[in-house]
Amino acid sequence: MHYVYLCCPIFPAPFRSPAAFPPIHAESLTGSAKDAAGMLGDAQLLLQRLSASKELARRILTAAQSSDIAMVKRLVKQTGIKNDFDVTFNPDGIRISLIRKQSRFIIALRWS
């Protein structure tokens, strides 16, 4: 018969009561949802313009390939969106983040 001895003694962990959660404020979540819903129109406009115009898509791809972020932002702005936005891209696709005070609406599109 073999016995296994641990090299370190094992002591039970002291009992800890669960951490108290902060009070819930649903107003901030509903405010953020309303804020994001306001960006939905811009997201829809942007997607409609991109899906309808191969020329716009080609120009954005060309600017992104040459790492001209200012041109990519200018072309996205020309679609008519009114919200602040940020653009990031890589060889696989583009991420356009529509930004407001309480929320962010992210559109991720592939191009490879």
Note the pLDDT of residue 38: 86
pLDDT at 2 over 70: no
**Residue 106 counted as domain residue:** yes
Can you tell me the mean pLDDT for 7-11?
A: 63
- Per residue in 42-84, pLDDT (tens digit) is 999 999 999 999 999 999 999 999 999 999 999 999 999 999 9
Which amino acid type is present at position 85? F
**Residue 82 counted as domain residue:** yes
Q: For the CA atoms of the chain, what is the radius of gyration?
A: 25
Rounded to two decimals, the pTM is 0.74
**Residue 44 counted as domain residue:** yes
Question: Higher pLDDT residue, 38 or 77?
Answer: 77
**Residue 13 counted as domain residue:** no
Total domain count for the chain?
1
Distance, CA of 90 to CA of 50 (rounded, Å): 18
The CA-to-CA distance between both ends of the chain, in Å, stands at: 62
**Residue 4 counted as domain residue:** no
